[in-house]
Amino acid sequence: MAELATIARPYAEALFRVAKSQDLATWSALIAEMGQVAANTDVKALAHNLAVSHQQVVDMILALLRSPQAAHAEVKNFVATLVDNGRLIALPEIARQFQVMKNVQEGAADAEIISAFEMIEAQVKDLIATLEKKFGRKLNPSVTVDNSLIGGVRVVVGDEVLDTSVRAKLQELHAALAA
């Protein structure tokens, strides 16, 4: 079977063309939600159950979507196409590729911020303002907490990593002493 990214690409590109001609932000939220639904283990199990028809799988997925846009014929046809072609498993990757295309269109990037401690909104805003200057583009942050960092933050933007955590500093020190 072809790699998932290769399978997902034409679907993501087709969705992106449709979204650009309509409301890109609304479609982006819908595609992200669809990816989350398709990644659910119960949904995957039901989709692979031979006793469940393709139409039942499509109806179930559409029923799980909260977006009012899920009722549009384009969305129904898209989900039906994925289910009929056995490509539902690619939906999370389609959503990821769609987000990358949207970011490129907007000159933005996703920033994964991993912090040792919970950050308040003001701290996130200040950090993003600094990071946007450093990376030279608008950033869409997602913040998670990882206590193993001990202190500081680790930021991932695309394939660039900025690690100012205490754990990273300790690893650098260990490597310097071991050399």
How much is the pLDDT for 43?
92
CATH number of the domain bearing residue 51: 1.10.520.20
Within a 10 A sphere around the Cβ of 156, how many other Cβ atoms?
15
Question: Using CA atoms, how far apart are residues 111 and 144, in angstroms rounded to an integer?
Answer: 11
How much is the pLDDT for 71?
84
pTM of the model as a whole: 0.76
pLDDT surpasses 90 at 16 = yes
Same domain, 88 and 155: no
pLDDT surpasses 90 at 68 = no
Q: Give residue 64's domain range.
A: 4-103
Query: For 159, which DSSP code?
Result: T
How much is the pLDDT for 84?
94
How much is the pLDDT for 72?
87
Over range 126-137, report the average pLDDT: 94
Over range 15-37, report the average pLDDT: 93
When pLDDT is cut at 50, 70 and 90, the band that residue 88 belongs to is very high
When pLDDT is cut at 50, 70 and 90, the band that residue 2 belongs to is low
Domain final position from 82, 103, 124: 103
Residue 158 phi, psi dihedral angles, 5° rounding: 65, -120
> Are 96 and 28 a contacting pair, CB within 8 Å?
no
Query: For 50, which DSSP code?
Result: T
Q: Please give the tally of structural domains in the chain.
A: 2
- The two three-digit tokens of residue 106, written as one number: 């907007």
Which whole-number Å values give the CA distances from 106 to 3, 10, 110, 156, 171, in the listed order? 27, 20, 11, 19, 37
pLDDT surpasses 70 at 1 = no
Domain final position from 38, 68, 103: 103
